């Protein structure tokens, strides 16, 4: 056991001493950690509240119902919610199983243009089970709604997905819904990246437009790594049976407890202020890169992330990611629209501000971090020791957890 806790301590030290810019990562509260590490991990509870296959479920029944109610409050919705999915991809696959048959057509954003693997990459299970068609971006890097409409008319999908993993602008869920329903399709909104913004009123909501909505509970929601499925009431039975017994057995009750804590936190005024700062920080850093002569895809951002196009810098996203790792700054390589490089190399990087904002960093630090990244890009390995020291100084001013997680 000593080895395991040694590795946990090393990972905590890494998180404490690095600047985290991966858009899908964040730091949970100590209360979320406590719930996730509670005795609820011991309890098996196949089924749903009041309809379990095991005894001794009176407490977890109440917990799951409480969790469901809190998430409906977070998004101010009467949609049915299932809190048992284990991850975003698990939630998406469950949604497909509930609404589609193998061979049905799904219309989604191309992965190379900011989509997600679970939305229909040929080698993924989605791509194997369903016929996948894609819409794309316009010349500015925005979702091409005319392309969505044309492809919907041409391919007659059963499901249209509005959602992305690397897209920095507002998604027009209302127009997506009009296009889907006019062409006999259902609309699924995957808001995994922007759920925190939707909850805080910083992004238009898909509720009332989409037929089914999936989201993770980490990223901008700043909770445990897990997921939720919302749907209009008429699809509730299909969704619930698709998940259990269709796609899972016993739910992870310790995770559901942590999701309930996450929902409680998302209902506070402090969370709304946090999300506003996330967006402000993202815009500030994107503007600073633009000022320094870099190309930011779409010219800016409306949310928690943006893509930096490195084509003119003569470097790949992989090279920049690896160089920054050496300086204590973590981000991820990412394809940019029209990228000719492979996903393993890429011509860009994705930068997100949820984690640094959780640490209390503001616009001044965003400009400082942009300058450090620029220095690494332009000067290379020779500057890494000096940049690393500056990173450590920034992190020391913005500590994470007061006590060691593994104490």
Catalytic residue among 89, 216, 262, 316: 216
pLDDT at 402 (0 to 100)? 65
Per-residue pLDDT at 403 exceeds 60: no
pLDDT in tens, 287-337: 999 999 999 999 999 999 999 999 988 999 999 999 999 999 999 999 999
Give the residue among 303, 265, 214, 252 at the shortest CA–CA distance from 73. 265
Rounded Cα distance between 210 and 325, Å, is: 39
Per-residue pLDDT at 1 exceeds 80: no
Give the residue among 401, 24, 366 at the shortest CA–CA distance from 194. 24
Catalytic residue among 70, 158, 219, 277: 219
Catalytic residue check, 190: yes
Catalytic residue among 190, 288, 302, 390: 190
Compute the chain's Rg from CA coordinates: 21
Q: Indicate whether this model's pTM tops 0.85.
A: yes
Average pLDDT, the chain: 95
Rounded Cα distance between 145 and 133, Å, is: 15
3-state secondary structure of 51: strand
Catalytic residue check, 46: yes
pLDDT in tens, 64-82: 999 999 999 999 999 999 9
Rounded Cα distance between 163 and 173, Å, is: 9
Domain 30-266 top-level CATH class: alpha beta
Rounded Cα distance between 351 and 324, Å, is: 12
Contact predicate 43/55, CB 8 Å: no
Catalytic residue among 225, 232, 283, 333: 225
Rounded Cα distance between 296 and 168, Å, is: 10
pLDDT at 404 (0 to 100)? 45
Catalytic residue check, 311: no
pLDDT at 172 (0 to 100)? 98
pLDDT in tens, 247-291: 999 999 999 999 999 999 999 999 999 999 999 999 999 999 999
Q: Which residues pair with 51 in a beta bridge?
A: 48
pLDDT at 347 (0 to 100)? 93
pLDDT in tens, 151-161: 999 999 999 99
Catalytic residue check, 225: yes
Rounded Cα distance between 369 and 123, Å, is: 36
Catalytic residue check, 66: no
Rounded Cα distance between 386 and 380, Å, is: 12
Catalytic residue check, 153: no
pLDDT in tens, 91-149: 999 999 999 999 999 999 987 788 888 888 888 898 899 999 999 999 899 999 999 99
pLDDT in tens, 175-200: 999 999 999 999 999 999 999 999 99
Catalytic residue among 44, 66, 142, 401: 44
In this structure, what is the dihedral angle of CA atoms 174, 176, 180, 186, given to the nearest 10 degrees?
A: -80
Domain boundaries, the chain: 30-266, 270-397
* Number of other CB atoms surrounding residue 371 within 10 Å: 14
Q: What is the mean pLDDT of residues 375-390?
A: 96
Pick the CATH number of 270-397 from 3.30.70.120, 3.90.180.10, 3.20.10.10, 3.90.1150.10: 3.90.1150.10
**Strands 332-334 and 80-82, sheet pairing:** unpaired
Q: Which residues pair with 348 in a beta bridge?
A: 309, 334
Angle separating helix axes 269-291 and 253-266, nearest 10 degrees = 80
């Amino acid at each position: 056991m000593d080895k395991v806790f040694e590795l946990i301590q090393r990972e905590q030290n890494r998180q404490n001493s690095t600047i985290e810019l991966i858009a899908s990562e964040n730091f949970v509260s100590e209360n979320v950690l406590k719930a996730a590490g509670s005795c609820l991990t011991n309890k098996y509870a196949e089924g749903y509240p009041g309809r379990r296959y095991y005894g001794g479920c009176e407490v977890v029944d109440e917990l799951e119902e409480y969790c469901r109610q809190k998430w409906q409050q977070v998004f101010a919705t009467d949609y049915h919610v299932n809190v048992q999915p284990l991850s975003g991809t698990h939630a998406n696959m469950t949604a497909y199983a509930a609404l589609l048959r193998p061979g049905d057509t799904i219309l989604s954003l191309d992965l190379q243009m900011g989509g997600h693997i679970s939305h229909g990459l040929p080698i993924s299970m989605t791509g194997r089970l369903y016929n996948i068609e894609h819409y794309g971006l316009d010349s500015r890097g925005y979702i091409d709604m005319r392309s969505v409409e044309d492809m919907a008319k041409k391919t007659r999908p059963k499901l249209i997905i509005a959602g992305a993993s690397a897209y920095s602008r507002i998604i027009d869920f209302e127009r997506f819904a009009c296009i889907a329903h006019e062409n006999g399709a259902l609309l699924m909104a995957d808001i995994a990246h922007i759920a925190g913004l939707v909850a805080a009123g910083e992004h238009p909501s898909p509720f009332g437009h989409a037929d089914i909505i999936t989201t993770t509970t980490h990223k901008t929601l700043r909770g445990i790594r897990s997921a939720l499925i919302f749907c209009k009431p008429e699809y509730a039975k299909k969704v619930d049976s698709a998940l259990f017994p269709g796609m899972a057995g016993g739910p992870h009750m310790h995770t559901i407890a942590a999701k309930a804590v996450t929902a409680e936190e998302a209902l506070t005024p402090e969370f709304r202020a946090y999300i506003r700062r996330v967006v402000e920080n993202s815009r500030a850093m994107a503007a600073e890169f633009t000022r320094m002569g870099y190309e930011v895809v779409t010219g800016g951002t409306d949310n928690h992330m943006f893509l930096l196009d490195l084509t003119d810098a003569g470097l790949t996203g992989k090279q920049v990611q690896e160089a920054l790792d050496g300086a204590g700054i973590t981000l991820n390589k990412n394809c940019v629209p029209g990228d000719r490089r492979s996903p393993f190399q890429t011509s860009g990087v994705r930068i997100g501000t949820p984690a640094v904002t959780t640490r209390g960093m503001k616009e001044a630090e965003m400009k400082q971090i942009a300058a450090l990244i620029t220095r690494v890009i332009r000067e290379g390995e020779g500057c890494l020791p000096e940049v690393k020291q500056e990173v450590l100084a920034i992190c020391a001013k913005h500590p994470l957890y007061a006590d060691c997680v593994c104490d």
